[in-house]
């Protein structure tokens, strides 16, 4: 059985970047981040997903560090309920401090601020977003929305302009093409020199199934034709940005065209690399 250490080392041998999502569930600590740095080569880039409290997600009290739990208001389900701004600021500060080993080594890419579907486009949400970007203290903010109001025809231009004003990156998403409120349209646009694309798969059947897990939602193996659709959009982003990153958020195993099984995200990434190389789009 492969350990987390072995998986990271193996992954770093084949790719130049990774997105760390475990930090959404627990605050990282500096010792753990130091190990990430030690297990990856020079030039490797790690993007880190913000802890749930930072993006206004429901978080159970036990997910907080012990010394912060006493100050956290909790609802009847044991979840942190509308914590004061001071507590959120402390969480941001600890998150920032923990990532110093990556920052010092030049391996820290961006901080993924993925907002939940109940954070809709309105002035209070924009105020919080501006504050959150400020709390990152100069680290790159990668902003992903999960409510379509941010990128509908009425608000799209204003949202992109606001992100550009903040110096934040608009996270471009590929996801199922439905009208669900928690599915934003794919908007290929760069709002900073750092472009970021998250490929969530197109599994419309499982996206909003109740009692489903995240792995159910993102259970999808892209076809080569679907990946080929991204050749021109990625070339467009490359022309408008200094750096472009494409991350696959698919974590299941699927039947491969050859008849065996294949891990979805790495298989998708390798296939996209080949497609872009043939199309003359430069890749790392």
Coil/strand/helix, residue 146: coil
pLDDT at 33: 98
pLDDT value at residue 256: 62
Statement to judge: residues 98 and 197 lie in one domain: no
State how far the Cα of 202 lies from the Cα of 217, in Å rounded to an integer. 9
Domains: count for the chain: 2
pLDDT tens-place string over residues 184-230: 999 999 999 999 999 999 999 989 887 767 778 899 999 999 999 99
Distance of CA 123 to the CA centre of its chain: 23
Euclidean distance between CA atoms 273 and 282, whole angstroms: 9
Q: Which residues of the chain fall short of a pLDDT of 50?
A: 1
Of 111, 126, 150, the residue at which a domain comes to its end is 111
Residue 271 sits in the same domain as residue 211: yes
Q: Write the CATH number for 88.
A: 3.20.20.410
Runs of H (alpha helix) within 15-99: 30-38, 66-69, 85-98
| Same domain? 119 vs 64 | no
Which domain does 275 fall in, by range?
A: 115-284
The predicted pLDDT at position 6 comes to 85
């Amino acid at each position: 059985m492969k350990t987390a250490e072995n998986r990271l080392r193996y992954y770093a041998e084949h790719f130049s970047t990774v997105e760390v999502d475990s930090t959404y569930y627990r605050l990282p600590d500096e010792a753990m981040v130091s190990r990430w740095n030690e297990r990856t080569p020079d030039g490797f880039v790690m993007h880190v997903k913000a802890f749930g409290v930072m993006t206004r997600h429901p978080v159970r009290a036990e997910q907080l560090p012990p010394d912060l739990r006493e100050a956290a208001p909790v609802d009847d389900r044991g979840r942190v309920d509308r914590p004061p701004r001071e507590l959120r600021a402390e969480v941001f500060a600890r998150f920032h401090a923990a990532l110093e080993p990556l920052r010092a080594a030049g391996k820290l890419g961006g901080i993924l601020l993925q907002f939940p579907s109940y954070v809709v486009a309105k002035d209070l949400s924009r105020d919080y977003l501006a504050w959150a970007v400020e709390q990152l203290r100069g680290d790159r903010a990668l902003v992903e929305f999960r409510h379509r109001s941010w990128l509908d025809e009425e608000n799209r231009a204003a949202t992109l302009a606001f992100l550009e004003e903040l110096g934040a990156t608009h996270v471009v998403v590929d996801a199922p093409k439905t009208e669900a409120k928690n599915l934003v349209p794919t908007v290929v646009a760069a709002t900073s020199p750092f472009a970021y694309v998250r490929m969530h798969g197109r599994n419309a059947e499982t996206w909003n199934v109740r009692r489903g897990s995240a792995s159910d939602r993102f259970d999808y193996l892209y076809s080569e034709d679907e990946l080929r659709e991204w050749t021109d959009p990625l070339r467009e982003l490359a022309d408008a940005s200094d750096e472009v990153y494409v991350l696959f958020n698919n974590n299941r195993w699927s039947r491969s065209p050859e008849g065996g099984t294949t891990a979805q995200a790495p298989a998708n990434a390798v296939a996209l690399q080949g497609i872009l190389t043939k199309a003359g789009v430069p890749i790392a």
